[in-house]
Structure 1
Amino acid sequence: MSSLKLLLIPFLLLATVSEKAQKLHNDAFVFDAHVHVINRQFYHGGDIGTRVSDGQFDLPRAKQGGVDAMFFSIFVTEDYYPQRLETKQTFRLIDLALTQLERNKATIELARNANDIDRIHRSGKIAAVLDLEGGFDLDGDLGILRDLYRLGLRSAQLSAHNWANNFADSCCSKPKYNGLNERGRAVIAEMNRLGMVINVSHASDESISQAIDLSKAPVVATHHGLRMINNIPRNMPEALMRKLAAKGGVIGFQIGNEFHNRKAFDWRTQHAGKPFWDTTDIAKREKTMSIEEIDKHVAPQFPMVGLNMPDEVLFGPEDWIAVVEKAIAIIGEDHVALGSDFDGGPTLPRGMHDISDLPMLTEAMLKRGWSESRIRKFLGGNMLRVFREITK
């Protein structure tokens, strides 16, 4: 497996990553907790197994980046919510995800639990854990949740991305329940019973806190950030970090500048005219569009990549690793993980272009004096441990 990874690393990447870092990255188990995979193909066609020249993800580049497992994240955008088409869109995306996985079964395979991940890893393939970003049903219908579980879904967002659903408040919309209502509590209980990952990224502070209290299993924030670095609602405050870690949870760190580089966040907000989570224009939109019309409206935003910011605004891989170190100082090295959000919109650290550049993070960790044990935990060990506990 390690030699296969090494052969797939292009010469340019080898020239920018030391031999020591490359060897460690090849040997480590790399488990990315949040990668946008299927939306590009849904809106524009193509195959995840085909290398493309834009965006941040495809399977050939994932292999080059040394990825062994990932949360294969599908994204139901808020555009489908006003018409209450979120459930139909979820099933449409999962249908395509399963079709693409079957088409690329020589390279990637669906994993339903940690034993599957172990088996798939031994075969030299990438393990794909189906993860839903957005709302599976704004009302939290448990029957729909169970149907999605039967299809292979093993992780779902508690809130409906940056939109308030009818059972859990989001980080970035007007609260309805100051956290969870009775149905939200029922959703958590059912996800525990099924053995599903409760993904609290995009949920409000109150929703996250109550989910941690209620859940019998660890809770995961697949792609999050530190509010102490950038005081925005999408990031997690220190008290919640401690609470999540105390119950065995893990925080995956989103790789974008917008989360942890205030200068870049302000630059983006100034040029976009609003924060990246603002969905008020969707809420105001006329509710008469057909689903096909919504598809055409949404399509241009995929693949989602960051902005072309000036180099002096961007931080580099070592700066990003320094952010993770601040989290480790608070909650320890057993509760942090990689949750990149590739093709989900992050403006990557300076010098990184896509998922094939993941070894640059290992290089940065070594330069900052991380032990091999800590690096292995962050790259995938912690996420695999928690996923094993949740799905057992």
Structure 2
Amino acid sequence: MRKPLLVLIASAFVFGCAQKTETIDYTLLSDEERLAAAKEMAQNTIMVDGHVDLPYRMKVGGFTLQREILDVSVRTDGGNFDFPRSKEGGLDAPFMSIYIPSGYQDRGGAKVLADSLILMTERLVNIWPDKFAMAYSPSDIEKNTQEGKVSFPMGMENGAALEDDINNVQYFYDRGIRYITLTHGKDNLIGDSSYDTMRTHNGLSEYGVEVVKEMNKVGIMVDISHVSDSTFYDVMKVTDVPVIASHSSARKFTPGFERNMGDDMIKALGKNGGVIMINFGGSFVDGDYNEKSGAVREHIVNWLAENGLSRTDSAAVAYIEKYSAENNPFPNVEKVADHFDHVVALVGIDHVGLGSDFDGVGDSLPTGLKDVSMYPNLIAELLKRGYSKEDIEKICYKNIFRVWDAVIAASGK
């Protein structure tokens, strides 16, 4: 836990006018006052989220370039993202995840899928230009935010869409991609995945080394979420610029879950100047979530069978709601804040950000962080633990902007 930080405004006389002394200690406010302060910060601070899976949510929902597209300009039923809820939560720039499932690297079509999801994202902007705008740099986000629009920067989740052509790095930069998650659920041509036990390359492949170098050259951020530990350390040796983990959390709280980052990895990321953007998903936040949620599901299945009911029966709906509430398996906002505390304790406030994985982790999201309207709940918890307004600004956008600007500068663009 961070020590409380007092925000002091000293007494002074400027042009003969006295300024009053004011002291704010957010740790001493009531919960209601602290939440009000958090909501004000969210509304007046640029907020970037490193990973929101809206494009693939649209694809799974059956939306294509030829058919009606999901209307996220209004409040939607289901999902975690839409324009009204973004405005309520203060979200200004969710990185749209151009997600390529691992199967595409085997059966082909990864690049084609990536192009279709990019076009789908662009279509949202074309349909509702008063609400959404594409963003290819921090300055784009600043401009769009001033105009009251939600920015859509894009990151590609799974470098499989590069296929075996290094020229596709420049191609996807030109298409608007500003980070590439090197792997996903399986090893690919670039390197090994945290979810795959094959260890095909024991880290980055020779091609993967060239991909990282080309990303540095072109100006695309390297995203090490999803990679194996060996791949991560290989990236650290190769990259000339800071890297990001767009949606990962701290392995300390999820022992054995390689998808999260271990302490030594977080320290190496800090030394590199990079940022870990904390994932809100239940299994990322709480090492016991899978077991607890599994037990709830098993009980409900058995109860339904014993009583000869289906989930849609009114009696079953009432029972499931009551039982789930009494045996809530979901982590809470405090559990998420623990990950921020841990990263800050290891490497400082300059190396942590928001990477919710909204629309990508199903119904596992924590109580109090179920959609993009709820970021103030997390900010309030961090204020309660002694984080300052400047700390919140770093978490919300300054840290990721610093890395992004460094990547742009190194590319000469």
Per the normalisation by structure 1, the TM-score is 0.82
Q: 1:251 aligns with which of 255, 276, 282?
A: 276
Q: 1:321 aligns with which of 326, 337, 340?
A: 337
> Residue in 2 aligned with 1:100?
124
Counterpart Cα distance in 2 of 1:244 and 1:270: 36
Q: How does 1:105-254 map to 2 (within 5 A)?
A: 105-137=129-161, 139-159=163-183, 161-173=184-196, 174-231=198-255, 232-254=257-279
Structure 1 vs Structure 2: percent identity of aligned residues?
29
Encode CA deviations 1:322-348: one digit per residue, 9 max, x unaligned. 221011100111000010000001522
Encode CA deviations 1:205-234: one digit per residue, 9 max, x unaligned. 111111122111101000101111112110
Counterpart Cα distance in 2 of 1:137 and 1:68: 27
> Residue in 2 aligned with 1:379?
396
Per the normalisation by structure 2, the TM-score is 0.78
Report deviation, 1:121: 2.2
Q: 1:261 aligns with which of 279, 283, 286?
A: 286
Question: Would the alpha carbon gap of residues 366 and 240 (structure 1) be closer, same or farther in structure 2, given more than 3 Å must change?
Answer: same
Report deviation, 1:115: 2.1
8 Å CA contact 1:110–1:129 kept in 2: the answer is: yes
Counterpart Cα distance in 1 of 2:167 and 2:285: 38
Q: How does 1:302-341 map to 2 (within 5 A)?
A: 311-341=327-357
8 Å CA contact 2:111–2:163 kept in 1: the answer is: no
Report deviation, 1:310: 6.0
Q: Which has the larger radius of gyration?
A: 2
Q: 2:53 aligns with which of 36, 48, 56?
A: 36
Report deviation, 1:242: 0.7
* Counterpart AA for 2:149: K
* Counterpart AA for 1:238: D
Query: Is 1:22–2:22 an aligned residue pair?
Result: no
Unaligned ranges ≥5, structure 2: 1-30, 64-69, 299-323
Counterpart Cα distance in 2 of 1:353 and 1:162: 24
Report deviation, 1:250: 0.3
* Counterpart AA for 2:58: Q
Counterpart Cα distance in 2 of 1:238 and 1:379: 22
SS at match of 1:137: helix
8 Å CA contact 1:138–1:166 kept in 2: the answer is: no
Count, aligned residues: 344
Encode CA deviations 1:150-207: one digit per residue, 9 max, x unaligned. 1111111111x11110221111112111101211011011101111011110001111
Tell which deviates more after alignment, 173-182 or 99-108: 99-108
8 Å CA contact 1:109–1:125 kept in 2: the answer is: yes
